[in-house]
Structure 1
Amino acid sequence: MRSLTFIRLGLVAVLTAIVLPQPSQSQVNAGRGLTHVRSAWNLDPGYLIMYGHTRVFGKVGKINLAQSIGTAVTFWDVQGSLAFSYGISEHFELGVTPIIYQDTQRGRKGYNLIDDIFLTLKVGSLGRRGGSVKYGFDISARFPSAKRHNIIFEPYSAGKVSFGFNTRLSYSKDPLYPDDATSLHFNLGYWNHNDVGEQLTDISPLVDTVRVLQPTQELLYGAGIILPSDKFDFSFELYGNAFLQRPPETAYSRENVLYFAPKVRYKPYRWLSLDMALDLRLTGGNDQTNYGLPGVGKIPQMPNYADWRINLGSRFTLLPTTVYSLTERDILMRKAETRRELFEKIIREQRETEAAEEELQRIKEA
């Protein structure tokens, strides 16, 4: 038994090492739901999930060398992050997402090793007990621990503590075990970048005099569907943003953008799943950055947002450790017991309601 535990821990370490050196996007989801669109259902209390996420974009461009000699170069945008979600109670869940690596295309190194960190508190699993529809919300903050911000190919960031909230609405055909049935998820949120007074370029503030005059604000939205099976889940999501107040023209990512993301998830064990997805940009190709301003460098033939991205992910259940030894029989028995308890509670509440109505009727007749 002890050797099996070491094998599992070794597998976790190897897969995490594969994920870390590569890149992903901004905030990804370790809890229930899709990669970007979140579920209103919370994790069960005591569950700790770790999600390692990597995303990659690359495109060939041309740069000019000395004496007007041009050469082709592949520009890569890679991001790697780890997301952790913990079920505090039936209605509360905590999430922490540090971005471990992020290409910047600037400076001597050209990357941030330890980028920004997201912190999220979720209130979810709200709605009628045993109902197929749940709702919830979360509040989040982004803490700037990266060296460089305002990164080409990536969502806008200004290097300040930013914050926002997100609302969630979910439907599942199996409300007791929503992960095991077809489910629909909808998100709508707001983000405030808290960036008034910020300079977005790296050059001297005496040369670049452009500053953020009003706080950059945006709406964030998404919708997705999950089609699960025994070993594979198939999902499709749409997610994007709409600026309420755009950043200044020195920002690389000031356009509204929409992505479509199909994904397949392989579930070899109850405690481990492996993801592969593709992000396809549907809108946001109209470049609104002013490259004539000081300090705003243009990479020839490159978009502000990635045209496409390959996403790889691995999801581990770290707690409770009992999940490693569960058999299919244990799972079926637990599901049957949960359904029995729910039905008994519904019947008990219905009888109490009927008794109260009868008592009220007797009082009226008296």
Structure 2
Amino acid sequence: MKSFKAMLVLALVFFVFSSSYAIVTNGGKGLPHTKSAWVQERGRLTFLSQTRFWGKVGQFPASAAELQTAYTIWDVQGLVSLNYGMGPHFELTITPLFYQDVHQGESEEYPWDTFIGLKIGSFGPKASSLTYGLELNTRFPTGERHNVLFEDYTAGRVEWGFTGLASYAYDPLYPEDSFNLHANLGYLHHNDVGQELVPRDLVEQQYLNEVEVLHPSQELLYAIGFTIPSESFDYGIEMFGNAWLQKPPLTAASRESYLYLNASVKYKPYRWFDFIVSGEYRLTADKDETVGPRAAIEGMPNYNTWRINVGAKMTLLPTSVFRTSERDILMQKAQSRRELFEQIVRERRETESAEEELERIKEERRKAERELERLRQILEGQNQQQ
């Protein structure tokens, strides 16, 4: 019951602060966009390859000389993500975007930007269902073009931020094999002061003071979701979005807050290989606050209305994972459960020992108080005799 209350409070807290999460994808444990507070085992290296796409048909209005014509806008992104367990509480993530539609001159950009993160997690009592952590995030502008339509805001500078992580597992010993809930709350600093977002000659005179960034753009980030696992499939639901603390200038292509709902299915044919498909839908309206050349194309939304993500994830290290049998896994689980029980017994003994010591101190204090009371009575009797 206590664990359920803690889970409910955790969910409410993060929904109160919710508004949007500007992340690319999650290549580690957790959901496609919501990261877990658990780190990967020491020496474990995983590789995720993912493609994300969205498209919409628009029309050019007919003129006196030309007939009405139609066109299709595509927004496609491809990435890989490497996650490496560095120890019991550390995990390194490197996520390069190797392809991005930018809709500026030549439509493609490859490679684009690179994300690097260091997760410090898996904190909390071993027998507890709740786990906590923190991730430090950095975005490096390895691509040439930025301030891109339909994508999260970026001005082409090194960005930094941090994300608080919390996870709940119904079975703390085998957290990924039982119902689990994850929540993230973060901060992102775009480090964009002095950056010119668009060419000045493409902006109307009245908006020239909106070309250069005068105040650092900052936003709060969030994600929350849960997973229901089974033997061969994991089913997940999550929400993610952003809330601006300091919006970028009006010439920024993406200066609005958004909120997405994502549903995912993970197929696990092998212990070392997962196939992941997810679809997300934007819950916020097609609000566009941008002016100038990065304003949404007529008839198009400011952010993707929907997106489909298709990816494959495999374990590269340790290589022993390819040779591990079902018997070996059962033996490892039995050993883990034994270690957990032994730790619980040790903690209980330490608690009992501490309680006994506290009781002894209380008894000594009571004895001292009785001695003082006896001494006071003796002194009062002597005073009365005098």
- Pairwise same-fold verdict (TM > 0.5): yes
Change in CA separation of 1:213 and 1:361 when aligned onto 2, cut-off 3 Å: same
How do residues 313-324 of structure 1 correspond to structure 2 at under 5 angstroms? 313-324=311-322
Structure 2: segments with no counterpart, 5+ residues: 1-21, 365-386
Aligned to 1:51: 48
1:82 corresponding residue in structure 2: 80
Unaligned runs of 5+ in 1: 1-24
State the Cα distance separating 1:202 from its structure 2 match.
4.3
Question: Which one is further off, 132-141 or 322-331?
Answer: 322-331
Q: Alpha-carbon deviation of 1:244?
A: 1.0
The TM-score, its normalising length taken from structure 2, stands at: 0.83
Q: Which amino acid aligns with 1:330?
A: D
Residues 312 and 232 of structure 1: CA distance in aligned 2, closer, same or farther (over 3 Å): same
Q: How does 1:100-139 map to 2 (within 5 A)?
A: 100-107=98-105, 109-139=106-136
Query: Post-superposition shift, 1:251?
Result: 1.0
User: What residue is the counterpart of 1:174 in the other structure?
Assistant: 171
Aligned partner letter, 1:196 = V
Q: Is 1:306 aligned to residue 304 of structure 2?
A: yes
The answer as to whether partners of 2:48 and 2:80 remain within 8 angstroms in 1 is yes
Alignment length (residue pairs)? 338
Counterpart in 1 of 2:10? none
Q: Which amino acid aligns with 2:218?
A: Q
Q: Shift of the alpha carbon at 1:26?
A: 4.8
Shift of 1:329: 1.6
Show CA shifts across 1:164-218 (max 9, x none): 1100111001112211110011111110101111111146599855211111111
Instruction: Give distance in 2, aligned partners of 1:359 and 1:132.
Output: 29
Q: TM-score, normalised by structure 1?
A: 0.88
In structure 1, distance between residues paired with 2:107 and 2:193: 26
Amino acid at match of 2:79: S
Alignment of 1:1-366 (within 5 A): 26-63=23-60, 67-107=65-105, 109-202=106-199, 210-290=211-291, 293=292, 295-296=293-294, 298-359=296-357, 361-362=359-360, 365=363
SS at match of 1:97: strand
Shift of residue 84, structure 1, vs aligned partner: 1.0
Contact in 2 for aligned 1:256/1:284 (Cα 8 Å) = no
3-state secondary structure, aligned to 1:194? coil
DSSP-derived class of the 2:26 partner:
coil
Counterparts in 2 of 1:201 and 1:65: CA distance versus 1, 3 Å: farther
Greater mean alpha carbon deviation, residues 246-255 or residues 200-209: 200-209
Following superposition, the deviation at residue 349 of structure 1 comes to 2.6
Give the stretch that moved more between structures: 78-87 or 322-331.
322-331
- Checking the alignment, whether the CA contact within 8 Å between 2:42 and 2:87 is kept in structure 1 is yes
Q: Report if the CA contact (8 A) 1:127-1:135 is conserved.
A: yes
Structure whose residues are more often helix by fraction: 2
Residue 11 of structure 1 corresponds to: none
Q: Deviations over 1:43-69 (max 9, x none)?
A: 111111111111100000124799444
Change (3 A) 1:202 1:53: farther
Displacement of 1:365 in angstroms is: 4.6
